[in-house]
Structure 1
Amino acid sequence: MALDTAPAHAAAPAGPPRPTRPRRGPNARSALSSRVTVNTLLALVAVYTLMPLTWLVVNATKNNADLFGRPGFAFGDFSFFTNLADLFTHQDGLFGRWLANSMLYSVVGSIGSTLLSLLAGYAFDKYSFPGKEKLYGLVLLGILVPHTVISLPMYLMASDIGLVNTYWAVLIPGLVNPFGVYLARVFSEGYVPAETLEAARLDGAGEMRIFRSVALPMLSPAFVTIFLFSFTASWNSFFLPLVMLNDATLYPVGLGLFNWNAILPQEPHYYAFVVTGALVSVLPLAIAFLSLQRYWRSGLTAGAVK
């Protein structure tokens, strides 16, 4: 009978190896420091960006006495709804008329501008015609020209055809959007395959039917992106309405608030109107971005990948 001559300590099974804690090297510490620095800078930028809006929200709760008698970031006696009611009833509801004018200029003008930009960008991308690239370069040149430079020539042309001091004097110039044409061409290159258009032509569809039924649904992210840019530019437009309009009932909200702000030394009770009106005028932009940001972000991401 064989005897087990193996040593006792050799029979004990070896336990699982103890995990070793990874040591942080200089690269990990450098990455952590970079993240902290970047997040700190982003937090400072966010605070700086939101500070004027916070000031508006806080001071819209004050009456005229609180605006001068309390610190800037201290709430008042919560007179916001009183200020709001006074704002919309002052001068027979003139502020509400300004808001309606801004919605007209921004919504109608932006929809028309976006459709024209999509048509132009689609044509520059999918069709070949003499002088296409030169004409496209001329369109892009329009991006470099400030709007204030062409406001006076547009005023003279509008005066010759009798459009000064009408809604059309602001709506028609807003239809031209060279940057929108550029974006539309980029989106058309990435979203609308030429094979799909060729298949639609083989089925007998006309060019306008192809654009309306095939290309336009594919360009929906481009539509939202260009619309938001146009809406923001039109809502914040100031110099063109200042040049074109003389009737206060045609003013957009920005120009109307500017006129109220100009008479503050003579009419101090307008301070609450201006502060509350400025806060109300920001809300449509915030609503538009919050409601359409999903489509806007997807469009910008696709354009970046392209």
Structure 2
Amino acid sequence: MLARPEQLLLALIGEAAIGYPAWLLAAIGHPVIWIGAAIAALERRWNAGSALRQRLLGVALLALVAGGVGAIGWLIEASASTGIAVGVVIVLATTGLAQRSLDDHVRAVARPLLRGDVGAARVAVAMIVGRDTAALDESGIAVAATESLAESFCDGVVAPAFWFLVAGLPGLLVCKVVNTADSMIGHRDERYLHFGWAAARTDDLVNFIPARISGVLVCLAGMGGWATMLRDARHHASPNGGWPEAAMAGVLGRRLGGPVSYDGEPAHRAWLGDGPAPDAADLMRALWVYRRACVLLWAITGGLAWLL
């Protein structure tokens, strides 16, 4: 039977090469979509009452969905005693990784931006960020896409890979539940402040080590950025998001962060890095750094497979 690092290496390469087929997405959706539907259904039923009740039911939601999905992953992995069954585990692991889809989504922003089509780039960037995009100019779009690329490298690639190595398919699937729950209900607004508390705090814990690994990989891939990462990562509102974002800012020699707005409400954020804001060409540079960082992750995983 293949060792866990070998399984992960095959999953990483397979997902990057093939991704999640569009026909399959159209036919049955995606496991993350199924997880999101379960979270949304429970949130509609349970997110009410006192602050204490909301917090307790938010904990219950996360435990129920993560526990259920993790148990399914455990049952699948426990039955993987043949080559075909191990292949099923690897294929399922690819659905928790987002190397190719992240590259596709950011390229969809970069291509029109390079042509000077700011309107099309705004539409594309609105698909991957939560901030208001209607008034973004070229640099604003490039900032948004670069930050999303760097942070999603952790959330969508390094974190699920890390937890697959630690706990196999159940670990990867639980990581995806936590990440999805945080993106859906882990907000500090009136509706989710208490109900999403468990999702937000658990996401911070799950991504703590992967975020720092992500920052290191970005710096290695970009051959620099160390000083900026170490200086500015702590200024980010998230205990984790600043590591890959500050590393990317340092590698590019550009400034990320700064004020944005969400649903018309201004949000003041710290600046990360030095220099001018990135433009379309810098966004393409960021994509190449990201791709090299993914290859480095493959190399490290292959090294673990060889050693173990």
TM over 0.5: no
Larger radius of gyration: 1
TM-score (norm: length of structure 2): 0.30
Structure scoring higher RCO (CA < 8 A, sep ≥ 6) equals 1
TM-score (norm: length of structure 1): 0.30
